[in-house]
Structure 1
């Protein structure tokens, strides 16, 4: 369904040949625009219109639908396979996704990632950290009642007492 808006009247015939609903010649009034929209609505009686905002909200809150995370990196879009993630770290309103290439920021919550990432592969070892258990080489005591997970890259990921129990379950210990 197309409504053309243009300053050139010579294309009107071609527009209607292309099954345009209307052809608005600039400048046009609000009343003329409203009539074109009504004409469009009249031709759409059986089409149910989804609530776009509700769909976007649902998509934003739903778990990851694949084995990758998509982040915006400057003007580029970066696709990170879940298997490439070493660990995630809370950073205010963002989550730092640590990989071999460095870290990338995603405006989501730790709870979102905890629900979304594969439970057999990722565990929340601390309120501010989720670790890829396949990257862990060892877990060592660190300070009172806390631990640190050493991952293959050499990074040390803090683990709380409760997180240690959770990690042991996931690791099958």
Structure 2
């Protein structure tokens, strides 16, 4: 029976991908999951699965760094790189799935894994190609939960993020959803041309802002377009808007 490992720093993504892979390839046994690159490399060395589905951006080691140290496992990258950069994966004979992964694309990838022998990946070339062809890779989508429902949310839908005691709320026009990623971890993954932190508990989407107002006590608030929502703007973050 073929075996596989899945590595991603978002547990919901691991669960969703595991379920979908099992539906497409019931004979494939998922024998391990990892939440960061270091754990992935350790498990791969110990268990030697036939396949590894690796996120590219993970804490500790990137998916590329893990793959370069794997010898007997066929690597499939699950990546948010844009379509232009994916030419590098094609040229270097590397299997990949582009997030968000469609059912059709997953089925095509599984069919290729079942049909073809592992290609010889050109890791040095891949690193050069990705470095040359890509600006920083920012989040394009995320997986969030609302009750028992898990939803795939495009970053373009997000109006703001709000930190709560245990979670981060993702607020869109369609509703409020929860993710486990903190604002501190989330901010470097967001395009700074589109998102700014305005308070220790808030990150706002710049195109969603209508205006900034100051009250009699000098406190500033951000008003969002198409709603009555206002968000606090702390003094320590207000300078960002004066520089624009």
Normalised by the length of structure 1, the TM-score is 0.61
Count of aligned pairs: 123
- Residue pair 2:223, 2:230 contacting (<8 A) in 1 also: yes
Q: Residues 150, 85 of structure 1: CA spacing in aligned structure 2 closer, same or farther, 3 A cutoff? A: same
CA displacement at 1:74 relative to structure 2:
3.3
* In structure 2, C-alpha distance between the alignment counterparts of 1:89 and 1:66, rounded to whole Å: 17
* In structure 1, C-alpha distance between the alignment counterparts of 2:178 and 2:218, rounded to whole Å: 30
- Residue pair 1:125, 1:167 contacting (<8 A) in 2 also: no
Gaps of 5+ in 1: 4-48
* Secondary structure of the corresponding residue to residue 58 of structure 2: helix
Q: What corresponds to 2:58 in structure 1? A: 59
Q: What corresponds to 2:183 in structure 1? A: 110
Could you give the per-residue CA deviations for residues 119-141 of structure 1, whole angstroms, max 9, x where no partner exists?
11010111111100110010001
Question: Which is higher, the Rg of structure 1 or of structure 2?
Answer: 1
Q: Residues 168, 69 of structure 1: CA spacing in aligned structure 2 closer, same or farther, 3 A cutoff? A: farther
* In structure 2, C-alpha distance between the alignment counterparts of 1:81 and 1:2, rounded to whole Å: 33
Q: What corresponds to 1:139 in structure 2? A: 212
Normalised by the length of structure 2, the TM-score is 0.44
CA displacement at 1:113 relative to structure 2:
1.6
CA displacement at 1:66 relative to structure 2:
3.6
Structure 1 window deviating more from structure 2 (64-73 vs 150-159): it is: 64-73
Could you give the per-residue CA deviations for residues 107-162 of structure 1, whole angstroms, max 9, x where no partner exists?
11111121111111010111111100110010001363421100112210110112
Q: What corresponds to 2:197 in structure 1? A: 124
Higher relative contact order (CA 8 A, sep 6+): 1
Q: Residues 65, 125 of structure 1: CA spacing in aligned structure 2 closer, same or farther, 3 A cutoff? A: closer
* In structure 1, C-alpha distance between the alignment counterparts of 2:192 and 2:201, rounded to whole Å: 17
Q: What corresponds to 1:38 in structure 2? A: none
Tell me if 1:161 matches 2:212: no
* Secondary structure of the corresponding residue to residue 181 of structure 2: coil
